[in-house]
Amino acid sequence: MQVTFNPDKWCAIVNSFAASSKAASLWCRAEARLRSDGISFNTYVTGECGNAATLTYSACKSGCRKLIAVGGDGTIHDVLGGIMSFVDQDESVSLEDFTLAVIPVGSGNDWIKTSGVPKDIVKAAALLKSGRISKQDVVKVSLLDPSSLPQEKTMAVSYMANVGGIGLDAQVCVRVNAAKKQGKRGKILYVTSLLYNIIHRAAFSARVVCDGEEIFSGPYLSIAFGIGRYSGGGMRQTPGALPDDGLLDITIIPDLPLMKIAKEVPKLFNGRFLAVRELVTARSKSILVLPEGDVAPVEVDGEVIGEAPVRFDILDHQLNILIP
């Protein structure tokens, strides 16, 4: 049976666990603004009915094509995942059929720093009436079966809306997410976790191949991949990334002495990080990371999804996003 739907109606996916579980109450302020602006919408709240990805998939299946992610970067990641799950199983729809708006109630809120969406909840809600539509790339992240190489058999797939990382990045996320489960919030979580993992760092080793060309081989601390510029509560590992240029920025931090790392850490936050001469950087449509020795954890939009080997590919189609 063909599903009919109102193309002007939005579906809000509210992560009730965001902002120390205060997202539902904060959402009430956004709801009031949407109603006063005459915006038509349905609300789906995470919890007993499922997580953000499941709710998004259900909304898409019911005919919704305009989604509001109410939460932080993890919620955006899950909403994108729900959209892509539906797109992947229905050949009649395309990623370009969907529009994403964001009302930020998370702790890091890194995605909005690149897109320009205001942090103020009411102002962000007002964009549904006054904002404009832009385009954003989406990255397919494929975890590969190590025993299948070089055939690259895919074990699991995720999708990236902002920044991902391997090694130190993912270790930081593990520590931050554990703190969030204890009810802790704020940028300080990312900074303290970064410092802890730098002090207790363990180098990994890998080959990195961009668009078929090997750009790095050897020990490294971190590999960051970005279509956005900010991650980890404001760090800028890919400060030159453009979300709509069809390319993925990569920054590799080789295994460096502790004092050198400590000296350069402030540049992660002031936009001057790429001035560090030891870094290896590139832009490409496809990136393959093949571990040599111990495997490293992989994080996408702040969520740890597994371990390398892994492949990052820019999709041919782009997502519509609502911006100022």
Q: Compute the C-alpha angle 152/155/160, nearest 5°.
A: 95
55 exposed, middle or buried (CB, 10 Å; 0-12, 13-18, 19+)? Answer: buried
Kindly list the structural domains of the chain, giving each domain's residue range(s) and its CATH number in brackets, ordered by start: 10-130 (3.40.50.10330), 139-315 (2.60.200.40)
Using CA atoms, how far apart are residues 230 and 239, in angstroms rounded to an integer? Answer: 7
Per mean pLDDT, which range of 50-59, 131-140, 164-173, 209-218 is the poorest?
A: 164-173
3-state class percentages of the chain: helix first, strand second, coil last, to nearest 5: 35, 35, 35
93 exposed, middle or buried (CB, 10 Å; 0-12, 13-18, 19+)? Answer: middle
Question: How high is the pLDDT of residue 19?
Answer: 56
Residues 12, 60, 322, 181: what is their CA dihedral angle, to the nearest 10 degrees?
A: 50
Indicate whether 110 pLDDT > 50: yes
Asked if residues 305 and 53 have their Cβ atoms less than 8 Å apart, the reply is no
99 exposed, middle or buried (CB, 10 Å; 0-12, 13-18, 19+)? Answer: middle
Summarised one tens digit per residue, pLDDT across range 145-160 is 999 998 999 999 999 9
Mean pLDDT of 222-229: 96
Sort strands 248-254 and 213-226 into parallel, antiparallel or unpaired: antiparallel
Using CA atoms, how far apart are residues 19 and 78, in angstroms rounded to an integer? Answer: 16
Coil vs helix vs strand at 281: strand
Asked if residues 136 and 319 have their Cβ atoms less than 8 Å apart, the reply is yes
Using CA atoms, how far apart are residues 217 and 220, in angstroms rounded to an integer? Answer: 9
- Alpha helices for the chain (secondary structure H): 18-21, 23-36, 52-61, 73-89, 111-115, 121-130, 168-181, 187-199, 258-264, 267-270
Total count of residues recorded for the chain: 324
With bands split at pLDDT 50, 70 and 90, how would you rate the model's confidence at 1? very low
With bands split at pLDDT 50, 70 and 90, how would you rate the model's confidence at 184? low
Using CA atoms, how far apart are residues 18 and 297, in angstroms rounded to an integer? Answer: 24
pTM for the complete prediction? Answer: 0.91
Using CA atoms, how far apart are residues 136 and 144, in angstroms rounded to an integer? Answer: 25
Per mean pLDDT, which range of 5-14, 210-219, 242-251 is the poorest?
A: 5-14
